[in-house]
Structure 1
Amino acid sequence: MADSARASKLAQRIKVVVAEGLRSRVKDPRVEGITVTDARVTNDLQHATIYYTVFGDETATSEAKIGLERAKGVLRAEVGKNITVRLTPTLEFIADVIPENASNLEALLRVAKERDAELAKLSESAEFAGDADPYKVDEDEAGTA
């Protein structure tokens, strides 16, 4: 079994090789809007998972998935030529959901910022409910205590 450092180095190399292969070797127009975002390899170097994003809508995403499945053999052959391991790992393509999660997070942050601005506006005109110094003791009360 290989160590995880070698697997991560191999994953980065596979990421570059697959991206170059999509650009130069695969002539399918369905894969033109694909960006390879990450790659991970198992510690035994037998399986590679490649994460990708697609520029476009849901139909472009589904078409890109079909195009990647059809080009899997060509891309695996490219990986086999350009890496130095005994066995070429199998490739699995997974659509990356990080951009969707990031846009959702940005929307939540925008709402929180608006609520903070409303709260700041309300707190400008707010006054204390009691005295400014609730522990202040009047002189009359101090003498009796």
Structure 2
Amino acid sequence: MGNERQARLADRIRVLIAERLEKGLRDPRLGFVTITDVRVTGDLQHASVFYTVLGDEKERVSSAEALRAATGMLRSEVGRGLNARLVPTLEFIADGIPENAGHIEELLREARERDEAVAGIAGSAAFAGDADPYKKVRDDEE
């Protein structure tokens, strides 16, 4: 039952923050931010908000600073939207999913290239000994 409540609260916080960011903050440092996930502790006192930023490293850093500066205002906004007695503290964490996905794509591309190279070598390979070294049952032994 506690996990359901955590999940509902996390989902509601994600929606509230995303809606507020969609309306815009009055901070020119904030880039195109997407809230990817929210995780709430078991005691519902702390929420970790994971986000990604579309753009280069400079935009990611400036957006992180803007989110840190707006944490109090966003927490107040979440409090109004939750109608809860206690509002969890918010911590914004840059989500590493896009970088990890890019790295995985690169590894998969390398693996495909190596597989194609091995398949090319295997296609022109010849047996070292007999073509079929395994013993077979002859008709007269059956």
Query: TM-score when scaled to structure 1?
Result: 0.88
Task: Determine the C-alpha separation between the residues in 2 that align with 1:26 and 1:129.
Answer: 71
Aligned to 1:125: 124
* Amino acid paired to 1:107: E
Residue 85 of structure 1 aligns to a residue whose secondary structure is coil
Aligned equivalent of 2:60: 61
1 CA distance for matches of 2:101 and 2:110? 14
Show CA shifts across 1:54-111 (max 9, x none).
1111111110111001111111111001114220010000000011011001100000
Question: Runs of 4 or more off by more than 4 Å in structure 1?
Answer: none
Could you say which residue in structure 2 is the equivalent of 1:91? 90
Larger Rg, first or second structure (1 or 2): 1
Within 5 A, what are the aligned runs for 1:36-115?
36-115=35-114
The residue that corresponds to 2:32 in the other structure is: 33
Structure 2: gaps (5+ residues): none
For these two proteins, the number of residue pairs brought into alignment is 137
SS in 1 for 2:71: helix
Identity of aligned residues (%): 53
Which whole-Å deviations, capped at 9, do the CAs of 1:119-144 have from their partners, x for residues lacking one? Answer: 0111111111111222458x9xxxxx
TM-score, structure 2 length as denominator?
0.90
CA RMSD of aligned residues (A): 1.7
